[in-house]
Amino acid sequence: MSRIAQKFEALKQDGRRALIPYITAGDPAPWVTVPLMHALVKSGADVLELGVPFSDPMADGPVIQRAAERALKHHVSLAQVLALVREFRDKDNLTPVVLMGYLNPIEAMGYTRFATEAADAGVDGVLTVDLPPEEAEALQSALKPRHLDTIFLLSPTSPAGRIKLIARAASGFIYYVSLRGVTGAANLDVREVTAKLKEIRAHTKLPLGVGFGIGSPEAAAEVAAVADAVIVGSAVVRRMEEMAANPDKILNEVPAFIARLREAMDRATLTPTSATGASR
């Protein structure tokens, strides 16, 4: 069983939902990434989504685009991202790490080499935004023997046929994009999310994570009540951007934000008895 599957199973047994923050590797400087990853886990993150900086992040809004630009100024490459994961694993061998990015850097490295080095570094899953399942067989053939999960996106406009296709292709969990548009958009409609998750669950037993548009403890709590995981990206990265000139402040205030999300999620989903147990 993969680290991702183990984590979701443990959370299920506790009656809790996964909290998955996103950060861009190397933002605002490479030395910040690993200490921040550890601080996020300590503050209640269950899975870490680590963005691979890319020069043309088409699915990302301006906040995460600027994060990639800041990282690229430090020449952060896919190889360096893997080195950061390896450094994180020196102290944490339990928390799942998912790489989120685009196909070009993986193709440049080569599928087999990437899969081998990612597994050796301690990566658990890969979400390649611009790789549809119809074209993913070659990459999946490299990832699967190395026990790396392949995570795919679904959206509010995904028809039934596409849901079935991704349900067959995905492993680890499925990432449901709760909004039409890019990361950082607003107007989260939890009723629409609830209805779509019900439709998706008819085709898969994989955990369903919801991301895009979750920027507050209140929104995180609402989504936690209907999803298996709450994924928070732009709200985290925006705070990092505001403190980019003072990275030490990031290491305190961003984990504090994650702790507030965790507390709100647990209040929304745990019974008083289980909440007491979870706090011990």
Question: How confident is the prediction for the chain on average, in pLDDT?
Answer: 93
92 is catalytic: no
Helix (H, G, I), strand (E, B) or coil at 228: coil
Residue among 27, 46, 49, 124 flagged as catalytic: 49
Residue 237 CA to residue 131 CA, distance in Å, equals 24
Tell me the C-alpha distance between 236 and 216, whole Å: 10
Q: Which of 27, 46, 60, 124 is catalytic?
A: 60
Question: What is the Cα–Cα distance from 69 to 108, expressed in whole angstroms?
Answer: 19
Q: Is 60 marked active-site?
A: yes
* pLDDT tens, residue by residue, 13-64: 999 999 999 999 999 999 999 999 999 999 999 999 999 999 987 778 899 9
Q: DSSP letters along 118-158, please?
A: HHHHT--EEEETT--GGG-HHHHHHHGGGT-EE--EE-TT-
Q: Give residue 271's pLDDT.
A: 60
pLDDT for 184 beyond 70: no
Residues 6+ apart with CB under 8 A from 197: 176, 208, 210, 226, 227
Give SS3 for 231.
strand
* DSSP three-state, residue 36: helix
pLDDT by residue (tens digit) across 112-165? 999 999 999 999 999 999 999 999 999 999 999 999 999 999 999 999 999 999
